[in-house]
């Protein structure tokens, strides 16, 4: 870039950064004007007015939810760091720790919420716990990668002075993992807020979640849009604030997170069936042991044996299985199309934006900001706009998957090595050829990383919509069985969902590993 | 250079062997590196000379054979912070300043962090005015200077240099090899220097060992008896003669067949 071009870019940057949000506001206001009637879309102007009139109400609700979210955020992230350090220090147990962490992360909040509500009774316990559960895995993975991603020479340096693992962890790895931790924390902030809100859905006294339920029941358009706006603003602010703090505290900026490849001992022993088996056996043992130690009422607390009896050996097992499978089919029917549509649209828009670089400066900041929005909190909005049919669930899943995919793919497309592009240009290859031969291959690792992390997010989205809005599928089944105290169904559905989500995640991770081996061998270990 | 065997003991390797899977890096090898001297290890890439260095540092375990540094094992020397190693990549920690990186060595070595000594050392390697710069703000040559300062600050008995000037441009490389070696040579520190450069080997060492392609076998042991200081002698007949001896051994060890070169 010539000096004048660089100066030009500097001048353009400030208005462009503001351009994105302004365009979003204008489009939103335009939508509000264009859509007939007052019951679908409340524009930014109406939202601002509604917020102004009910400032006290929203402030108190936000305070409550933020307090729970912040506590859960803290606990969840501390847990994540501790788990990552443990996995590092016990390399043999790493695959087991990662597998269990994934399985617990895949437990649907829709089901764990009501179970935790019974356990805790009234209060903020479920909100805090769900917030912690919603964040720990997305911090655990990058921190573990960060702890391990240290150049071998740094570790040799420590060893050359006769020092061991602890000195490596203290002097080298902990600090080297900080940017990764920050990247994890940025994702965790909106997730914690979402977890706290879902916790409130299970029957809290106050908070944003309660207001959301009220707004949805009352078909209160203004309140619904206001709540979604406040949740979005808080999440974007937290995401940006953590990034800002990190840029000032660290000498280097946090990496644009591509949720990095799943760590593990690589293909072979653990990632095969045997690994799954070990994780499964340990999970069942822990589940059984926890129930024994806690001494919970067996009417409510179902163990592995109860679930087995419910699904396989007990009376009515056939019927139970049929109910569950029917619900599973409904859920998959919404989840699959939504997931693939979201991935495809995210990647496609990223490609379009790359071919028209002028767009990227506008789209990228908006996409990064919207990626931080806890999409699930916009469920009531979606119900207003799309209705309660299966299309709504699929649409929400697609939106949930869309933004992280878009951001990751944009990042990947930009990572095509400059020299490779120069080689293409030297043969007179146009943008299309450069895209096909250089940029798309460079995008693949990012695309698959997004695809993997989107699996639990999509499951979360679809079950929450089913619970709150459509009344179909596993989400609704879990909600109904929780309210009817049908704990056999609730536990079975929970286990089924978690296991399936974890398995799909694992399958995507395996495909990802193959792709990485070819297109980003430096990441594939 | 007078070498006190108590301070600068010989390094004796006996029957040393190391393999990585099917690749034999070091075949049974007997070699003694004299204390107080700089020995240059020259050979084709991948011949196992870096592995030899890492074995002496105790960073790799030999499959067979033994290494004694005086009466000590490499591990014992490491534990007393008696050795320091520099790599082709300066391997500075990006979040620490030049001072901080040098201080880390003292901390890892279990020594008191001595701010005055650190500043004096950074000054000595030519980093005056960049004490508080982070590696990202330093040039490649300056980073290597900081890495050498980090090596020397702990007063090691044994200095292991794995192509320390290999990643910088030719001019910087010349400047570094004029400025830095006199610092450790003045101390009489036993030094092993892995290098690709014949000139550098002759310029910096008292003895050049030429290795064959993998597995490492010593094909020539050439004493470099040039007077100090060496810089400026590169065009003298004595220097050129020694350099040609090393080159000839290198080419001889490589074997005459170009196919063998291509196969590497």
DSSP characters for B136-160?
A: GGS-HHHHHHHHHHHHHHT--SEEE
A with B: how many residue pairs have Cβ under 8 Å apart? 56
Give the confidence band of A376 by pLDDT, cuts at 50, 70, 90: low
Domain that holds residue A333: 296-525
Tell me how many domains chain A contains.
Answer: 2
Cis peptide before B229 (omega within 30 of 0): yes
Residue B107 touches partner A, C-beta closer than 8 Å:
yes
Are A251 and A327 found together in one domain?
no
A82: phi then psi, degrees, rounded to nearest 5: -65, -45
* Residue A5, domain member (yes or no): no
Residue A300 shares a structural domain with residue A253? no
Residues A135 and A79 both lie in one domain: yes
**Residues on chain B touching A161 (C-beta within 8 angstroms):** 78, 81, 105, 108-110, 154
The verdict on residue A16 lying in a domain is no
- Say whether both A343 and A424 belong to one domain: yes
Nearest neighbour of A251 by CB, restricted to B83, B85, B95: B95
For A474-504, how does the pLDDT look when each residue is reduced to its tens digit (9 = 90+)? 988 988 888 888 888 888 999 889 988 888 8
Interface contact B94-A252, CB threshold 8 A? yes
pLDDT recorded at residue A522: 52
Is A267 part of a structural domain of the chain? no
Look up residue B261 and give its two tokens: 């070169």
- Using the Cβ of B139 and the Cβ atoms of chain A, whether some distance falls under 8 Å is answered with no
B91 reaches A (C-beta below 8 A): yes
Whether complex ipTM tops 0.90: no
**Partner residue facing A160 (CB), from B83, B89, B136:** B83
Portion 176-215 of A in contact with B at CB < 8 A: 176
Examine the domain organization and report whether A114 and A211 are in the same domain.
yes
Cβ neighbourhood burial of B28 (10 Å; 0-12, 13-18, 19+): middle
Question: Phi and psi of A299, rounded to 5°?
Answer: -60, -35
Check CB contact of B223 with chain A, cutoff 8 Å.
no
Structure tokens, A8 = 């030009």
**Shared-domain flag, residues A390 and A515:** yes
So what's the pLDDT on residue A436? Answer: 80
In the numeric block, which tokens belong to residue A173? Answer: 């790895």
- A332 and A249 assigned to the same domain: no
A7, part of any domain: no
Nearest to A137 by CA among A92, A110, A99, A179: A99
Do A87 and A154 share a domain, yes or no? yes
Tokens of A384: 């207003």
CA distance B215 to B19: 9
Three-state SS at B21: coil
Residue A524 has pLDDT above 70, yes or no: no
Distance CA(B239)–CA(B224), nearest Å, equals 9
Q: Indicate which of B51, B56, B87 best probes the interface with A, i.e. most A CBs within 10 Å of its own CB.
A: B87
CB under 8 Å, gap of 24 or more: what pairs does B46-50 form?
Answer: B46/B213, B46/B214, B46/B264, B47/B211, B47/B212, B47/B213, B47/B214, B47/B216, B48/B18, B48/B211, B48/B214, B48/B215, B48/B216, B49/B194, B49/B211, B49/B216, B50/B162, B50/B163, B50/B194
Mutation target vs A (from B93, B109, B150, B163; most A CBs, 10 A cutoff): B93
Nearest residue on chain B to A152, alpha-carbon basis: B91
What's the whole-model pTM score?
A: 0.80
Contact A171 B104 (CB under 8 A): yes
**Are residues A314 and A243 located together in one domain of the fold?**
no
Do A125 and A200 belong to one domain? yes
Going along B8-108, which residue ranges are E strands?
A: 11-20, 23-33, 38-42, 64-69, 83-86
Q: Residue A368: pLDDT above 80?
A: no
* B75: chain A residues, CB-CB within 8 Å: 162
Is A57 inside any structural domain? yes
Tens-digit pLDDT profile for residues B39-93:
999 988 877 888 899 999 998 899 988 999 988 899 998 888 889 999 888 889 8
d(CA B143, CA B153): 15
CATH code assigned at A75:
1.10.3720.10
Q: Is B25 within 8 Å of B217 (Cβ atoms)?
A: no
- A100-145 pLDDT, tens per residue? 998 888 888 888 888 888 888 888 889 999 999 999 998 998 898 8
Q: Say if A27 falls within a structural domain.
A: no
């Amino acid at each position: 870039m010539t000096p004048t071009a660089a100066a030009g870019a500097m001048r353009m940057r400030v208005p462009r950064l503001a351009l994105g949000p302004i365009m979003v506001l204008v489009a939103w206001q335009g939508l509000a004007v264009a859509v007939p009637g007052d019951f679908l879309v409340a524009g930014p102007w109406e939202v601002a007015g509604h917020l102004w009139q009910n400032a006290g109400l929203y402030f108190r609700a936000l305070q409550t939810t933020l307090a729970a979210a912040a506590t859960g955020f803290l606990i969840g992230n501390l847990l994540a760091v501790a788990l990552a350090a443990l996995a590092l220090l016990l390399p043999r147990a790493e695959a087991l720790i990662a597998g269990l962490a994934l399985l617990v992360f895949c437990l649907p909040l829709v089901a764990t919420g009501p179970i935790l509500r019974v356990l805790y009774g009234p209060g903020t316990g479920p909100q805090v716990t769900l917030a912690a559960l919603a964040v720990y895995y997305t911090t655990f993975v990058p921190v573990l990668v960060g702890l391990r991603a240290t150049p071998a020479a740094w570790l040799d340096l420590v060893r050359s002075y006769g020092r061991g693992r602890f000195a490596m962890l203290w002097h080298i790895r902990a600090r080297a993992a900080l940017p990764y931790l920050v990247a994890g924390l940025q994702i965790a902030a909106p997730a914690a807020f979402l977890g706290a809100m879902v916790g409130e859905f299970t029957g809290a006294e106050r908070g944003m979640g309660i207001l959301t339920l009220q707004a949805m029941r009352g078909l209160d358009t203004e309140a619904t849009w206001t709540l979604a706006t406040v949740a979005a603003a808080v999440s974007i602010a937290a995401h940006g604030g953590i990034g800002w703090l990190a840029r000032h505290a660290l000498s280097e900026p946090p990496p644009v997170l591509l949720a990095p490849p799943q760590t593990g001992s690589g293909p072979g022993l653990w990632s095969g069936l045997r690994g799954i088996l070990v994780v499964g056996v340990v999970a069942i043992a822990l589940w059984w042991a926890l129930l024994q130690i806690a001494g919970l009422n067996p009417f409510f607390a179902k163990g592995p044996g109860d679930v087995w009896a419910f699904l396989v050996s007990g009376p009515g097992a056939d019927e139970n299985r049929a109910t569950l499978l029917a619900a599973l089919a409904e859920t998959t029917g919404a989840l699959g199309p939504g997931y693939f549509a979201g991935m495809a649209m995210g990647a496609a828009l990223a490609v379009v934006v790359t071919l028209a670089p002028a767009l990227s400066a506008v789209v990228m900041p908006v996409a990064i900001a919207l990626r931080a929005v806890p999409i699930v909190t916009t469920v009531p909005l979606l119900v207003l706009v799309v209705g309660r049919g299966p299309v709504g669930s699929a649409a929400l899943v697609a939106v949930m998957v869309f933004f992280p995919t878009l951001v990751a793919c944009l990042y990947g497309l930009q990572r095509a090595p400059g020299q490779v592009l120069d080689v293409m240009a030297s043969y007179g290859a146009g943008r299309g050829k450069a895209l096909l031969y250089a940029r798309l291959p460079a995008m693949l690792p990012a695309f698959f990383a997004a695809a993997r992390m989107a699996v639990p997010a999509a499951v979360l989205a679809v079950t929450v919509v089913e619970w709150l809005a459509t009344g179909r599928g596993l989400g609704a089944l879990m909600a109904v069985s929780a309210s009817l105290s049908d704990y056999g169904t609730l536990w079975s559905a929970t286990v089924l969902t978690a296991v399936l989500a974890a398995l799909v995640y694992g399958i995507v991770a395996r495909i990802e590993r193959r792709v990485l081996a070819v297109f980003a061998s430096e990441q594939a270990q | 250079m007078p070498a006190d065997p108590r301070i600068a003991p010989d390094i004796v390797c006996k029957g040393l062997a190391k393999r990585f899977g099917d690749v034999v890096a070091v075949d049974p090898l007997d070699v003694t590196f004299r204390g107080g001297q700089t020995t240059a290890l020259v050979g084709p890439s991948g011949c196992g000379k870096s592995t030899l260095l890492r074995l002496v540092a105790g960073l790799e375990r030999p499959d067979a054979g033994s290494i004694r540094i005086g009466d000590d094992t490499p591990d014992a020397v490491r534990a007393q912070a008696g050795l320091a190693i520099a790599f082709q990549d300066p391997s500075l920690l990006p979040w620490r300043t030049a001072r901080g990186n040098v201080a880390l060595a003292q901390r890892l070595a279990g020594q008191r962090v001595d701010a005055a000594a650190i500043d004096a050392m950074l000054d000595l390697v030519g980093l005056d005015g960049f004490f508080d710069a982070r590696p990202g703000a330093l040039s490649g040559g300056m980073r290597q200077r900081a890495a050498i300062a980090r090596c020397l600050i702990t007063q090691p008995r044994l200095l292991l240099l794995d192509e320390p000037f290999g990643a910088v441009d030719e001019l910087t490389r010349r400047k570094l090899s004029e400025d830095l070696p006199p610092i450790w040579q003045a101390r009489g520190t036993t030094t092993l220097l892995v290098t690709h450069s014949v000139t550098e080997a002759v310029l910096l060492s008292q003895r050049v060992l030429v290795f064959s392609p993998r597995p490492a076998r010593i094909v020539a042991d050439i004493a470099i008896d040039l007077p100090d200081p060496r810089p400026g002698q590169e065009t003298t007949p004595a220097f050129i003669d020694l350099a040609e001896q090393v080159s000839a051994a290198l080419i001889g060890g490589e074997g005459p067949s170009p196919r063998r070169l291509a196969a590497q």
